[in-house]
Structure 1
Amino acid sequence: MKETVFIIGLGLIGGSLGKNIKQTYPDCRIIGYDIKENDVNLAKALGIIDESTSSIEAGAIEADFIILSTPVFQTKKIIQSLSQLPLKRDVLITDTGSTKTEIMKASTALKEQGFTFIGGHPMAGSHKSGVTAAKTLLFENAFYILVEDEGNDVAIQKIKKWLKGTKANVIVTSAKEHDYVTGIISHFPHLIAAALVRQAANESIEYPLAKRFAAGGFRDITRIASSNPYMWSEITFENKHVLLMLLEKWQNDMNRLVDIIKNNENESVFDFFKSAKEFRDELPQASKGAIPSYYDLYVDIPDIPGVISEITGYLAEERISLTNIRIVEAREDIYGVLVISFQNEQDRKNAYNCIKKRTAYDLYLI
């Protein structure tokens, strides 16, 4: 397609979409804009964009397809600005925000001017951020949500065509359903993870050993508490009505749990854990969800000098890239003490086979 794409926001998501579109449609022209000049220059150097623009207005009026890959509060402001511009009449506009109700309300300003807006949310992420972390495989097998409350099938098919190269699982739904479901499986868990960490931090003042033990399983189950606090405070308020409902339900469940523990209701406590285990065991393992996956491999190694360099040496020989490596001092649920993180499932599988055939160390995947 010899059309012009304008990407506003050249971070991980915007950069990765640019890479995918350029790979799928090499004849298209991609213009990029970001408030960080360094990111714009990097995007050019990496071939993600063909050219840059000094203003949103200049890029938008030339575009056939506009992608707003910015924080939600900025996206709403940009939508308002775009509605005042002489855009092409058949321009298609989308965003990548993780909440949709408020953005779809804001998009009314565009629709009143006769422009087409389709809400978007690619459920993908990475250990790294920024345009230098952009990659074409970021969205592969991930869910890519499109939101169109008025059922514009023509626009939906057009945006699916633009996204063909992502190899994502595209799902169309309403803003209401999107925000409630993502609230359940993404936004709410971030609140709970942060609350668990805050409780541990408070308790560690009196019991310092808690911080040391938290390096094990606790660190893994609360890893999302390390997410960007600015982004998550924004998401909390953008989706506050859903989160308040979920928090109220959570409080009721916790109050019920307090009662059954106080009353020594052994069977009820057993059912509490059993039902949670059964549901979790039924969750898909191969597909990507709303929270980015971490592909960790646990290696039970002896505490002797050189053993870590031995393991990483084997991986280097077979050119298997890793993203992180750490030693776990205390872990109550598995025996692994060396945790190696990978960018994707295939790298982890290759590493498993590599270490397995060269050593007698026990390996664990969870």
Structure 2
Amino acid sequence: MKTVFINGLGLIGATMARIIKAANPATTIIAFDPKQENITTMVDDGVVDSAVDFETGAKQADLIILATPVSGICSSLRQLAELDLKSGVLVTDVGSSKETILAAAEPLMNRGIQFLGGHPMAGSHLTGSKNSRLDLFANHSFFLVNGNASPAAIKEYQVLLAPGQLHFSSLTAKQHDQLVSATSHLPHMVAFALTNTIIPEVDDMAIDPGIPSGGLLDTTRIAKADPDMWTAIFTSERADLLAQIDQFQKQLTRLRTAIAVDDQDSIHDQLQAANEARLRLEEKR
């Protein structure tokens, strides 16, 4: 993979570029991003060799990485299906809605072009290439959802990402979307809703709250995430997210009922179960 084209140099796309350049400095990385500051940062850092338009970059590449919001990835896949791409090119992405993306990649795969879905399970509320870094994905899962890529192409891609210290896991698009909806999409939704619940109430008190409590800051940190990206995620993964919201509402109702009737045993049991479950999560890291 001598030439890599990355469409989108936000936090994730720029991090991918840094990992690939670290793997092989001789690799030519070309990129497109509508924000000039993202391009400038990566070119000045010596990671991206040049900026190109989408069609030019796609036609020159041995590897194409789509690193825009999900709606943009789907649009790019449809555009790629109409272009004359290099023989043996591998197309991949970093989006979080794999069933939607795999469906959009069908016309591309029907032409015999290799597609491999990808999704790093790491990120930050910070955005833009200026916040990208080589170790952003280190010791986190990187999910692979294969469309029609050959074992050799997948292996070559994994080798190219070795400096990122990723833990690769292969699964189906449905498995991916169910898992990510529960572990990422629902927590972000809750953080957004919790912030919108608490902050207006505090503001209406007309009292300076001083330094906010650690509990508030901890549980709402991810509400600082990019609204454009998360709007695209929520609307592309409606069914799975709505199912997770229903399950969350059941848990809230169960706890609310116990509080309302002063059922201290039930309250304690629910909190204890959550405490133990959270500790098990830490043991897996």
In the superposition, the TM-score normalised over structure 1's length comes to 0.73
Conserved in 2, the CA contact under 8 Å of 1:203 and 1:210? no
On the 8 A contact 1:200/1:211 being kept in 2, the answer is no
Amino acid at match of 2:257: D
- Whether the 8 Å CA contact 2:9–2:33 is kept in 1: the answer is yes
Asked if 1 retains the 8 angstrom alpha-carbon contact of 2:92 and 2:118, the reply is yes
Pick from 70, 73, 78 the counterpart of residue 72 of structure 1: 70
Distance 1:151 1:59, change over 3 A: closer
1:130-183 deviation digits (Å, cap 9, x = unpaired):
222222222221211111256853432232122122111111111111111111
- Asked if 1:50 corresponds to 2:49, the answer is yes
Query: Partners of 1:119 and 1:175 in 2: how far apart?
Result: 9
How do 1:222-233 and structure 2 match up within 5 A? Answer: 222-233=220-231
Please tell me whether the aligned partners of residues 119 and 146 of structure 1 are also in contact (alpha carbons under 8 angstroms).
yes
The answer for the alignment partner of 2:23 in structure 1 is 24
Amino acid at match of 2:93: D
Equivalent pair of 1:118/1:155 in contact (CA under 8 Å): no
SS in 2 for 1:118: strand
CA gap of 1:132–1:173, structure 2 versus 1, over 3 A, is: same
Hey, what does 1:7 align to over in structure 2?
6
CA RMSD of aligned residues (A): 2.1
Residues 65 and 92, structure 1, Cα contact 8 Å, conserved in 2: yes
Distance in structure 1 (CA, Å) of the matches to 2:102 and 2:252: 34
Any unmatched runs of 5+ in structure 2? none
The structure-2 alpha-carbon separation of the partners of 1:229 and 1:268, relative to structure 1 and needing over 3 Å to count, comes to same
Query: What residue is the counterpart of 1:249 in the other structure?
Result: 247
1:160 is aligned with what amino acid?
Answer: Q
Q: Whole-Å Cα distance in 2 between the matches of residues 172 and 51 of structure 1? A: 32
Q: Residue 138 of structure 1: SS of its match in structure 2?
A: coil
Instruction: Tell me the percent identity.
Output: 35
Alignment partners' CA distance in 2, 1:218 and 1:10: 31
Higher relative contact order (CA 8 A, sep 6+): 2
Show the counterpart of 1:273. 271
Shift of 1:257: 2.2
Residue ranges of structure 1 left out of the alignment (5+ in a row) = 288-366
Quote the offset at 1:93 in angstroms: 0.6
Aligned to 1:362: none
The change in CA–CA distance for 1:251 and 1:122 in structure 2 (over 3 A counts) is same
Tell me, in whole angstroms, the C-alpha distance in 1 between the residues paired with 2:225 and 2:127. Answer: 11
Distance 1:283 1:171 in 2: 18
User: Which residue of the partner structure matches residue 184 of structure 2?
Assistant: 186
Contact 2:90–2:149 (8 Å) recurs in 1: no
Task: Give TM-score, length-normalised by structure 2.
Answer: 0.92
Question: What aligned pairs does 1:98-177 form with structure 2 within 5 A after superposition?
Answer: 98-126=96-124, 128-148=126-146, 152-177=150-175
Match of 1:200 in 2: 198
Corresponding position of 1:219: 217
Query: 1:149–1:175: 8 Å Cα contact kept in structure 2?
Result: no
User: Counterpart of 1:139 in 2: which secondary structure?
Assistant: coil
**Aligned-partner residue type, residue 142 of structure 1:** H
Deviations 1:311-352 (A, max 9, x none): xxxxxxxxxxxxxxxxxxxxxxxxxxxxxxxxxxxxxxxxxx
Describe the shift of the 1:262–1:42 C-alpha distance in structure 2 as closer, same or farther (beyond 3 A). closer
Q: Structure 1: which amino acid aligns with 2:13?
A: G
CA–CA separation in structure 2 for the residues paired with 1:249 and 1:125: 25
Q: Report the Cα distance in structure 1 between the residues aligned to 2:249 and 2:284, rounded to whole angstroms.
A: 32
Q: Secondary structure at the match of 2:30?
A: strand
Spell out, residue by residue over 1:224-276, the C-alpha distance to the aligned partner (whole angstroms, 9 max, x if none): 11222222121111111011111111222222223222333221111011000
Q: Which residue of 2 aligns with 1:304?
A: none
**Secondary structure of the equivalent of 1:23?**
helix
